[in-house]
Structure 1
Amino acid sequence: MTPPSDPARIPGDAPDESELGRIAADLGLDIGAQHLAEYRLLIKQGLGGYSRLDELTSPPPTARHYDRDPGYLPGPDENPYHGWAWRCSIKGAPHGPLAGRRVAVKDNISVAGVPMLNGSPIMRGFIPHEDATVVTRLLNAGAEIVGKTAVPAFCADAAGLTGLEPQPSNPYDPTRLPGASSSGNAVVIVSGQADLAVGGDQGGSIRLPAAWSGCVGLKPTYGLVPYTGAFPLERTLDHVGPMAATVADCAAMLEVMAGADGLDPRQQLDLAIGSYTDMLEEDLRGLRVGVLREGFGIPGVSEPDVDAAVLAAAGTLARGGAEVMEVSVPLHSDGLSIWSAIVFQGATELVTRGDAIGANWNGHFDLDLVDFYRRAKPAHPAEFSPTVVFTVLFGTYLTEQCGHRYYVKAQNVARELGRQYAAALETVDVLLLPTAGMKATQRRTDGSIAQIVARALGNMHNTAPFDATGNPALSLPCGFSDGLPIGLMLVGRRYDDETVLRVGHAYEQLRGPLAVQPPKLADRR
C-alpha cells in the first residue's frame, strides 16, 4: 500500500511533559520533572515559526521542458535481460551534441513525471516533479530519454542480487550477475536498447557493471557532475557519470553533464570544465601508465585470468607508445576498509535517519521526496533488503558504541589515501588495475542473508577506494575469459578526467573490436 501523499504538518500544540520525558530519555538527557514544563513552554513558543513556514511557498521545481510521454512498465517480450524498470519517450532539443541519441537513466535519478522506484517496493507510488540537473542537460543537448533502468534496492548492492524481480541478468551469460547498482544501464547498452546511460557510483556502481557486463563506464572526479536530483547514499561518496559502448561516447556525455549547477554542495562553484572530446585523438607518446601493484593478486579475490588480461592491456598501451611502469600505493589494500567505515555510518545517518536529505548543507532539497520517503519507511518495515538492513544495523551499533570515532578516522585516513594516490600520479599520468578482481559470478545463492550480503558487497576492493578519494576512474573491456568480459580500470588525478578518457580511447583503438560479442537485440518498444 502506498503511503498517503499528504505531507506531515507541525502539531498544533507542544508535546506534553510525558512525551518530552520520553524524548529526553531516548537522547540520554537527565531532565528533572520540574524543568519539563519550562522546556514545553519554550517548544510551544517555537512552534509558531514553523506554523508560519507552512504558509510560505517553496521555490517552484526546476522548469520542465519538452513534451512527456509518461511511459509504461515494459512486458517480458520488450525487456530482455530485465534491464528496464520503466519505458518512456522524452525527446529533447531538436539540435545539439547528443541529438537523436537514446539515453537510459538509472532509476535513482529523477525524471519528472516518471516513476522512481530505486529498486525497492518502499518507493512504489513516488513520481518526481523535477528533473535531475543531468537529465535537463541531456535533454537540452538533444538526447531522448527512453527509460529508467533497474537497480538493486536503494543501490546498496555492487553485484545485483537485491532488486525488484525480475532483476537484470548478465547479457553474456544470464545465469550470472551483471554487476550493480547501475546494472540496468549496462544491460540496455550492451544489448543495443540504448545508446547512452546515466549511472551513479558510490562504491563502484558505474564501473562494476561496466566490467562484468562489457561496456564503458566513467566515475568522474567527485563533484564534477552535479548530483542534484539523484537519491543519495553517502554525500561524500555520491557520484553521477556516463556509461556507453565507447569511451568517445562517455566523453561526449561528460561534456554535456559536467559543471556546477549552484545547487549541489558536493561541487566547487568555480569548476574548470574541459573539452573532453578534443584530446581523444592525441597519441600516447609521452604518457606514463602506472601498473598499481596492490590492485593485483588480492588474496581470495583476484582470478589469475583477470590479472593476466589487464597486464596484457598494459602491454598494448606500451606498444602504442606509452611508458609503462609498476607503482605502489600500500594503503590501497586498506581502501575497502576505509570506505566501509564511511558508508556504514554515513548512509545510516543520511538514508535512514535523515530521510535521504539529512541536514547541515545548503543544496537543493526535493520536498516531495522528503515527504514521501519519510512516510514510506514505517509503512513498509519488512521491505528493506538484506544489504540495507545490514548497513543500518551495523551503522547504528557503531554509533551507539563508539559515536562517530571510526567515521571521522576513516575520512581522515581517506585523505591520506588520496595523498598517496596523488604522489603516485606525480610519477605517472594514470594508474592501471583490474576493475574487479574476478569475472561475473553466478546468481545462485543458498538464500542465507550472510551469503547475499557477502556476494553483494564482495567485488569492490579496487573500485571503492577511489570513491573515498574522488579520483576519476574509467572501466572498459580489455578481454574475455570463459566467454565473460574482463574490465580494465584507469585512474587519474582529480579533475584530470581528460587524460583518463584519452588513454582509454587510445587503448580501444589499439585493442580493436572485442573478440566476443553479445547478441544484439532490436529495440522492440
Structure 2
Amino acid sequence: MAIIRPTLEQVQDLASRLHIQLTPEQASEYLALMQPSFDAYDLVDELPDFIPPVRYERSSGYRPSSTDNPLNAWYYRTEVMGASSGKLAGKTVALKDNISLAGVPMMNGAAPLEGFVPSFDATVVTRLLDAGATILGKATCEHYCLSGGSHTSDPAPVHNPYRHGFTTGGSSSGSAALVASGEVDLAVGGDQGGSIRIPAAWCGIYGMKPTFGLVPYTGVMAIESTFDHVGPMTSNVRDNALMLEVMAGADGLDPRQSAPKVDAYCDYLERGVIGLRIGVLQEGFQLANQDPRIAEKVRSAIARLEALGARVEEVSVPEHTLAGSLWSPIGCEGLTMQMMHGNGAGFNWKGLYDVGLLDKQAGWRDQANALSPSLKLCMFVGQFGLERYNGRYYAKAQNIARFARAAYDKALNTYDLLVMPTVPITAQPLPEPGSSITETVTRALEMLGNTAAQDVTGHPAMSIPCGLVDGLPVGLMFVARHYAEGTLYQAAAAFEASVDWRTL
C-alpha cells in the first residue's frame, strides 16, 4: 500500500524542525519534488522483508506463575528443540530477554516493549539449535539492560539463588540465576558494561564476555554498537568453551564483526597453567568500594594458580581506570542516540534490522516517565553531551579508547592474562519498592569499576567463581589478548580442576 504523503503544512513544519524556513510557494515546489522519493518508499513497503527463515518449531509459550518462578528469573517459558545431534545435544538453554526468539514475546525488561514478538531468530539462537540444544525460554533481564543489579526489571526483581532478597547482578540477571539454580544447563547473556560477568560473579557461575565481534550480535537488541557483546554463561568451564565454539564466528550480518578469529576452545582445557604468565592488576584491587574480604579471596585463588605452576607478578596499568571512565561519554551518548532516538537500531550501519522491534521501541516516548532511574540518568547525561557539546566527547572518548586498548595490549605482550576481582563487593540486598532514585541508581551502578573497561577496549574477559564471603559467591576475572579466549579457558579449567570453589 502507498505510504501517507505529507501535506503542504507538514512540509513547512518538517523544514522548521530542521531549522529551515520555507514560504508556501517553496514548500509546494519541494513537495512536488519529493514525490519520486515517496514512490521508492511505496516500493519498499510492497516488498516482503528479507529476514532469515525460522527453521525449528516452537510454541509462543507462557508466563510462568510465581509458584513456578520463585526467583523471578523466567520471563517466558517455551520449548524449542534443536537438531537431534551436535556439540550441545541434550543441553538446555535460557536466553536473555533481549535476544530474539521468533514467535516468543521479548520485553527486554521494559514495559514499553511488552507485547513485542520477534519474527526471526537471533544468529546465536540458530547456532545453539543447530548444535542440538533445547531452548526452554527467555530469562528476565534488567530494564533495557541498564543495570548491574537485578532490581530494575519491569517483570520483577530477580533473587539470588544463594540468598533470597539479594541481587543476582545484572543485566543478565535471570540468565545467571537459572544456571546457578540448575534450572538450565546453559544461558546466553549480553555484556555492555559487565552484564555477563557481574551476575556470573554474584551467582557463582562462569561468564564469558568474548572479544568484541567474535560472536555475532545479530538479532539481539542493541544498546551501543561499539560496546555490544553476547556470550555464554554456564555452571562449568567445559560447557562454556563448548558453547563459545558453537556461537563464535562471522555470520555476514553483523557489522560489529571483522574477520573474527575462531578457535577450538575445548583444546585448551587440559593444558594446565605451568609457565602461564599472570599479571595481577593493581588498579583492579584499588576501587573505592573494594571489600577487603573479596580481595583476599581473589588473591588466595591467584596463589593457587601460582602453586599450580603459573608465573605471577604484580602489574600496573593506569589506563584500566581510564577505560572505565570512557564508558560514560561513549555509553550514555551512544545509547541515547541508538537505543532511544534510534528506536533500538539507529542508522549508518549495515546489518540485519528488526523492523518490528524498531516500530515497537518507538513507543518508549509515550511511557518515558516510567523508564528506570538508571536509564534516565544515562539519557540525561547523553542528551546533555549531544546538545551542549555536539557529540564531541563521544567522538574524543572513542579516539582515546584506542589508547586505553593499546595499554592493555602492551601489558598483555608481557603477560598471558591479567587478573583482578570481577566486582569489588558481594551481592547486595535488593532495594525495597519505592526506594529513592539515589538508592535505585547506586544499586544499579556500584559494581562496574572493573568490568566496564573491557567493553570499551574489546578484550575478552571471564569471571570464574573462587570462593564465598558470608555465604555469597566471589568472582575472579581474567582478561586476555583479543581472540585469546582459549587462554582464559586454560586458566579457568586448571583452577576449576584443582578445588571445589564452594569450600574456599
The SS at the match of 1:70 is: coil
Residues 1:424 and 2:411 are matched in the alignment: yes
How far is 1:33 from its partner?
Answer: 6.5
Rounded Cα–Cα distance in structure 1 between residues aligned with 2:468 and 2:367: 42
Matched, 1:25 2:16: yes
Q: Provide closer, same or farther for how the CA distance between residues 166 and 9 of structure 1 changes in structure 2, counting only shifts above 3 A.
A: farther
Residue 327 of structure 2 aligns to a residue whose secondary structure is: helix
Amino acid at match of 1:389: K
- For 2:372 and 2:131, the matched residues in 1 are separated by 37
Match of 1:522 in 2: none
State the partner residue of 2:392.
405
Is 1:340 matched up with 2:328?
Answer: yes
Amino acid at match of 1:82: N
Which of 81, 89, 110 matches 1:120?
110
The gaps in structure 2 that reach 5 residues or longer are none
- Structure 2 CA distance for aligned equivalents of residues 9 and 244 of structure 1: 49
The one-letter code sitting in structure 2 at the alignment partner of 1:290 is G
1:170–1:176 contact (8 Å) kept in structure 2: yes
- 1:514 partner SS: helix
Deviates more, 1:27-36 or 1:385-394: 27-36
Contact 1:151–1:181 (Cα < 8 Å) also in 2: yes
The match for 1:92 among 82, 86, 93 is 82
Give the whole-Å Cα distance in 1 for the aligned partners of 2:477 and 2:215: 20
Residue 245 (1) aligns with residue 235 (2):
yes
CA contact 2:140–2:155 (8 Å) conserved in 1: no
Residues 10, 397 of structure 1: alpha-carbon distance in 2 compared, 3 angstrom cutoff: farther
The residue number in structure 2 matching 1:433 is: 420
- 1:385 paired residue among 343, 350, 372: 372
Q: Tell me, yes or no, if structure 1 residue 280 matches structure 2 residue 269.
A: yes
Give the Cα–Cα distance (whole angstroms) in 1 for the partners of residues 155 and 56 of structure 2. 32
Letter in 2 for 1:326: E
After superposition, the C-alpha distances for 1:389-408 in whole angstroms (9 at most, x for unaligned) are 22222211211100011101
* Structure 1 counterpart SS, 2:188: strand
Matched to 1:457, the amino acid is L
- What displacement does 1:176 show? 1.3
Partner-residue secondary structure (3-state), 2:286: coil
Structure 1 regions of 5+ residues with no counterpart?
1-7, 517-525
Partner residue in 2 for 1:477: 465
Q: Which residue is equivalent to 1:4?
A: none
Q: 2:494: which partner in 1? A: 506
Distance 2:260 2:451 in 1: 24
Equivalent position amino acid for 1:28 in 2: H
Q: Secondary structure at the match of 2:464?
A: strand
Q: Is the 8 A contact 1:120 1:383 kept in 2?
A: no
Letter in 1 for 2:41: Y
Cα distance, 1:272–1:165 mapped onto 2, change above 3 Å:
closer
- Name the amino acid aligned to 1:498: G
AA in 2 matched with 1:257: M
TM-score w.r.t. the length of structure 2 is 0.96
**1:124-523 paired onto structure 2 within 5 Å:** 124-268=114-258, 270-299=259-288, 301-374=289-362, 376-444=363-431, 447-515=435-503
Kept in 1, the 8 Å contact 2:98–2:220? The answer is: yes
Give, in whole Å, the separation in 2 of the partners of 1:420 and 1:9: 54
Counterpart in the other structure of 2:3:
10
Contact 1:14 1:44 in 2 (8 A): no
Contact 1:14 1:43 in 2 (8 A): no
Residue 32 (structure 2) pairs with residue 41 (structure 1): yes
Structure 1 length as normaliser, TM-score? 0.92
Residues 6-27 of structure 1 show CA distances to partners (whole Å, capped at 9, x for unaligned) of xx9732x3342x4334333333
Corresponding residue SS for 2:190? strand
**CA–CA distance in 2 between the matches of 1:86 and 1:56?**
32
* 161 and 9 in structure 1: CA distance in 2 versus 1, 3 angstrom threshold: farther
- Tell me, in whole angstroms, the C-alpha distance in 2 between the residues paired with 1:47 and 1:15: 13
SS in structure 1 at match of 2:326: helix
Inter-CA distance 424–240: structure 2 relative to 1 (3 Å threshold) = same
| 2:44 alignment counterpart | 53
> Per the alignment, in what secondary structure is the counterpart of residue 160 of structure 2?
coil
Alignment partner, residue 68 of structure 2: 78
* Residue identity matched to 1:196: L
Q: Structure 2: how far apart are the matches of 1:437 and 1:430? A: 19
RMSD over aligned Cα, in angstroms? 1.7
Aligned length: 503
Asked if structure 2 preserves the Cα contact closer than 8 Å seen for 1:88 and 1:146, the reply is yes
The code of the aligned residue for 1:387 comes to S
The residue matched to 1:453 in structure 2 has which SS? Answer: helix
Does structure 1 retain, via aligned residues, the 8 Å contact 2:464–2:477? yes
